[in-house]
Structure 1
């Protein structure tokens, strides 16, 4: 019997399923139902239009998508007629509010009205117009719905206004009502200031036309009257740098709010005095220009008394000046000032032991910056609330005055909890290898026992054993291993090999993020449902009761009742990769499925690997959503796959069975930017429990020709498989679709036959790179580093940034236009054809290839059989 779902902060209150977008409390299924329930509350009085609007509404994917609506014409106030009429939509569009968990209207929205004649092909006209606004790179322009002029009866597509009210030209960026020519002219004519110096005035005026085309939030360089500054605070002795409050504050474009120029009142700023400059020289103006490119500088002012010029920066710029001497040192406190301060204090303390005093002074003079802990002599009477921590020489205490912190002044953080480690001899105290100033405050001495004491920072040491934490998360490896060992008697798999393996893996954990492999009783799982089947395993989804009803995947390995090395090897490789993932950033956005533990199916007695569940299924299952794979999206998702393979290769491993069925996705809905990608089946280097050289395991269309010839498996073979994944990503078709996976196909692959593809179905540069991955000579195939570089070049090109090239951008633009032209054809395919495509994708699962002879030179493959 299934248990009811338990509501959590991440589950929808209405359906109790996990929110589609947890951060915004947005549940797609419930919102779709709400839209359906609202269908009867509006009508255009044209069934074809109504159906089109309903279809558009049901295609929402995220909480940021605009809700496509029927909008009565009387809801608009026409304000200007240009290329398209501009109007104010009084009610405004619907926007999802994550706090109320409802759609609410944003009133007085400015929109453009695109008129369409009331023709027989009105739906096609609207569809084509909508596609026109879905550009290759960005799809941010909101399309709100359809209306109808009551007089002319013309239908109208309502979109967020993309035309500037002032000049009538298209906004540079309609998302923020940003018209670069108008904003540039506004600033050029912004003359409500006067420095009293024509050179300065002309310089500032000349800077105005050079505002960034799309850096909407960049501050504007201006002349600032000196009386605009309050609360001026000198930094250091020389007074070069000063903190101040600018009353009116800097001028910037409010692109997220009012879409106009505003001032940020009472802004904290940094004033840098140029005492030697009272005349604006070319050298001074040139220095300002350098700051304009490298720093966020607000403007220039002049002290009315000294007449020297002052540059006005963001307040954080003052952090470049030492707070003691005032010199520009690129740090809040410079090292010489800290050293001088400590040296001046040497005469104010003593341990009454010359060796200890010299040791402490030496440690103090090793400080490199103001963040470092100051190593001190600490009188014993500074400690109170002393408590025994454990039986040996560790106690906890509260340090009354607390450690010294260098900031604006030398201050102490009082009542600091510390650990006191007693030492019975002087040598151990002065042994520099035992501790560092990073985790030690200093030395003290018990006046009764005369034992010296190391005063340690409590945050670095375990409260149970007194040993230093293994990492900064206050995780103690020895204590955690003790807990696991004590728990060994509380579980039993009934199989000594499994028991020993789990214990071995548990005792290898070395970090708080490492997976603790468990034996999990099968009765801990509810709602067990089959989700996939392969040649040697069946995968089920299940709910794990003891883990707050967490959904997991159960990989049941056929014939594993008698545990063999390969079964345990798969688990071991998964754990190894997860550990490497914690230690390295080379994997990018790709992940490997967490391994929670091992269980056993009570009926078949097969052992089962309990894995993290990927809700989106395999890449194969995404064929139904192929229309969502714009070329921009493909260039987002492909690097994640390459990064995963790169991480495997950099760790001197190979995948052996790389194909679309082993690439899993975390989310069911299509959202490439937030999608987590998993690479699975890392442990299958052959048939489970069998390493016979006469047998191979894989998906024939993804297998490199040298592997089919039974040559050793190399990283280049994985690259060949990646090339076939690139083909699937480009076309939505499996390689060699429609062909049997038999020895005839194997023969064709070895003779150089590859899937057919030509531009503009894919950009020619992409095809060329893909075909290099297919090269029959493994030495000619690119490695993952080169592949990453090429994909980055493609991305830079479509965005026209970095080293991007126009010829590459044009190829991707042509391919995207071709893809969109096929969408209408694909959407009209019959269900029968679609189901056939899904069935074909499901046939692309790994299978056993059995060679009946040991003749490695045979190229006709007549001696092999492929298991069903």
Structure 2
């Protein structure tokens, strides 16, 4: 071995080492015919400094002693084992030399680190193949991990023939220390154990599964090694995390790979990371809980030289428990796909978890679902409201929700049209909107004046009212939500309380003066409209509507128009502004506008026109 040393720097001199050179010898593990000890080598290894000089020894070096029992009977086997190792001191496993226990006669390989072998040749070959491919300090060291290395083993999930445990790995994974150019262990590392029952029956299947995992230690999901339960014989993949379900793992990794700067990092979250779990609401196959997540979600922060992921620890979250979801991972994944990855969204999906007692999967969200009402007592409505809330991904959007009827005060009828009655009311708690200055926080704007559009007999057709709701724009959430009159059962839509195109009582006009006439068909008057028209005030936080009182308007009087409703509607359509900015200059000399129409029975057309604004 020494004759093979050439002029390269960083080479360890392979040597025979007297057993008396070792102090503080402590057993650290045993596996079949091998026992491993840690020890302090007094003289320490010798390195080549330059091509013609020797460096000083690295004295009092901590080393691993791999004791091969009965190896004195098989010298060739010992030599073949030694030939597998490198003598470059920065490689993963460096063989410093050979020693021998004078009492037992067992030969000892003296190494920098020790990586265990399994008792299965195929697994050993696979692990060694992966280790030999390590050519970068960012590569993860795959190794065989004795089962007795794990403490605090707890079941965290099950999926058919797979059980997932959390555990503390005493030694921990090997990490490259860039400062000192060597490998050290990250001891007492929390890991996930993916136990495949009866996996001892198919080693090839186990190895193929292991091959799917990346080798980079900065990957989202890392395979540290393989282990085996000595009692059951089941093989175990030791991972940073796993759900135990390949489809769910793949979905999470796919989302992680697509992450952008402002996106939420989706992850698998062990159920034991949640404290203070309390039920907040229930509906059919869904129960929602509030909880404190110890670790908290990952957040991106920018420093002067790099971008980091840090945890927002002790985060209050909502746990949306999907009953019987363990029966269909496709159902769970489809539910998770509904959530936007955008951190500006109203409902953020931090991750997926599983209750180990029931097997039910859980969507771990921000706590926004517990801030709003979404349970109406009708599952179709509940699903629709959730769908609407999941579409909110702009801080300017209001939150669409179910609003209990007792939230309204000062309810006053303002008009009726067939099966529709319009009321004005004060919504006590008011709409919910994101506070632009406080991250994820949402604020309610209490005592908000709203209009209630009561659809009589609407309880007989849920789909009809949902279709009615879909007509409303989602930008700035003109429609606040749905309610129901508990006495009549009629469903109610809540919007801003103001309709741009509206019915205007004639007594709203003062100082009416004729300004022009066109034969016997049309006469135009000027007048003062006391309340004035509605327009969007864009410089307010909620883009609210306000009235421009005592506005000078033109009244275009159409003779005999009461005899032809279609005539007046067609005439009104000519005036409808196609650009919402026209609302700012309503009634100004450069614009001709229609303030309103003179028959409330045409409310349906007015509503239709208002929805376009």
Which of the pair is proportionally richer in strand?
2
TM-score (norm 1): 0.23
Which of the pair is proportionally richer in helix?
1
